[in-house]
A = this chain, B = another copy of it.
Amino acid sequence: MSRKTSKISVIPLGGTGEIGKNLLVFEFEDSIVVIDGGVKFPDDELLGIDLVIPDITYLEKNRERIKGLFITHGHEDHIGGLPFILPKLNIPVYGTKLTLGLVRAKLQERTPYPDSLMHVIEPGEQIKAGAFEVEAFRVTHSIPDAVGYSLLTSIGRVVYTGDFKVDYTPIDGQNMDLGKLAAWGEEGILALLCDSTNAERPGVTMSERAVGKTLQEWYERAEGKIIMASFASNVHRIQQAINAAFDIGRKVCVVGRSMESVVRTAIELGYLKLPQEDMIIDSSEVGNIPSEQLLVLTTGSQGEPLAALTRMATGSHRQINVRAGDMVIIAATPIPGNEKLVGKTINHLYEIGAEVVTKETGQVHVSGHANQEEIKLVIRLARPRFLIPHHGEIRHQAALRKIGHSLGYADQDIALTQLGSRVELSADRMEFGERVEAGSVYIDGLGVGDVGQIVLRDRQQLAQDGVVVVVVALAAKGKHYRLLSGPDIISRGFTFMKEAGTLVDEAKKVVANTLESQLQKDQLEWGVLKSMMRDSLSNYFWEKTRRRPMILPVVLHY
């Protein structure tokens, strides 16, 4: 392949047209570089599905060309898919210290991965990955050690911001490397992939430091124990909460599996600093400490039914009870779709008599993503030739395109991608190439990819109106069959059968009539017989109840 005709391909296998399961593929000449491998939480209609990961068929087919997988930061939507993805690819993994620490903890839960393939990198380090030279640059986000990436090739540089906000006063003092972005911009950036999550929101996002101040104020007002729920990975917020607790002489108890795991990793790696050695107490000791000397840091800010805060609110947590007079701070916004669950938790807490502080009533949360003015700053500094809105639903990507327009970019300078789009970049052109295989793989229990559209459609029908099994046994009698037993009817999730005697009796008659007419025929086809039974029963139930349970005919014949 001659260098002259080479193009850089940008292929999103996740994170475009959606928020979640981020995975970006970059191709140049014979080399492939991958960024991130996240999960997405299932929509309501994906009944029974636990997680959604990107379809990586394309990567599996091109495995030998992959030079490495680089990770931007340790959030689930960027690393949660790795336990499923990495074992299939067996490729080197690169990330900053905390990020890799979180990835290691995650991999250990499911699939061990060779340590020799895990490489801790520093922002500014230049890593040769085939035809790419990859360099991480520091960004500020709602988790420490987050980076974006520059991918330099012989025909130009592509930059991906990763998830970011422009926080001028980050808790850890690690500023976003705006200077690097400006320097690259000066040299010339071919294309910028930019976080679109908050592109609909005007102005700027507040600094995480603002939350610290508000937390202090709330903590000072609290009389009973303080229970604070937030995303486990928001180490900065946890740091601020611990500092504020220390200032007023409260001990800290960390509750909830993911919170405990992140806090352990962050302390081990030096990202979380305790103002005092014995500040953290075990949940078994909670009973020995007066309420007014206690801060509980916990999971459940999304109202997840099994999370610690939810269990505390419903009185089903083993160690921690919420009591009247306790203060519960929910330091997070509900992810779209979780509003009702969070509302339920809040109502339970009020029922107990707790004081509940939320983003609405107490400014205890700020977003980790850049609003419009921050996005403009980054684009102005980077001055890319082309713009690729990433990390967002179509509405967010369209909003980022609008920002692009306001900065002078024309429609053809901005690429709105879909899953599997191939954006081809040459020094002065951006166009769409041939799409690659892409989509969603559903994880349900131990099954990866064994639940697809047919199974989901069945679950939806079962969820709506339940199931009815109708059983008959037939015995051969000359060249015909006669009814040996049945029809019998079993149902679940349809109607309360004990009180539906008439309905069941008539339904049996309907099936019996169908059988009678069919069994007289000379050529009895079992498939036809079953579908006749199904249709007659389905029509009967629809007429009587306006419901369409799934009907499963069972015909035994001897």
Contacts and interface: CB of A to CB of B under 8 A. Distances in A.
Given A44-B44, A492-B462, A469 B395 contact: no
A552 interface: yes
Most B Cβ at <10 Å: residue of A44, A460, A466, A488 = A466
A220 interface: no
B554 A469 contact: yes
Contacts of A499: 450
A370 to B, nearest CB: 17
B48 A495 contact: no
A225 B549 CA distance: 42
Nearest to A542: B445
B394 A347 contact: yes
A466 B458 contact: yes
Interface stretch (A70-78, A105-113, A333-341): A333-341
A175 interface: no
Nearest to A47: B463
Contacts of A452: 496
Interface string A450-489: 1110111011111111110101010000000000110010
Contact of A48 (B339, B464, B492): B464
B471 A467 contact: no
A544 B446 contact: yes
Given A394-B351, A450-B499, A552 B466 contact: no
Given A459-B493, A556-B473, A447 B360 contact: no
A500 B450 contact: yes
The copy count of this chain in the complex is 2
Contacts of A508: none
Given A346-B395, A446-B544, A446-B546, A493 B554 contact: no
A511 to B, nearest CB: 15
Given A200-B361, A465-B48, A552-B492, A398 B455 contact: no
Given A48-B493, A200-B360, A459-B463, 12 more contacts: A47-B464, A201-B360, A339-B339, A350-B394, A450-B495, A455-B493, A458-B493, A459-B462, A459-B466, A471-B471, A471-B556, A473-B473
Interface of A: 17, 43-44, 47-48, 200-201, 336-337, 339-340, 343, 346-347, 350-351, 356, 360-361, 393-395, 398, 444-447, 450-452, 454-456, 458-467, 469, 471, 473, 484-485, 488, 490, 492-496, 499-500, 544-547, 550, 552, 554, 556, 558
18 contacts: A43-B340, A47-B464, A346-B395, A347-B394, A445-B545, A445-B546, A446-B545, A446-B546, A450-B495, A450-B499, A454-B496, A455-B495, A459-B466, A462-B466, A463-B463, A471-B554, A484-B558, A556-B556
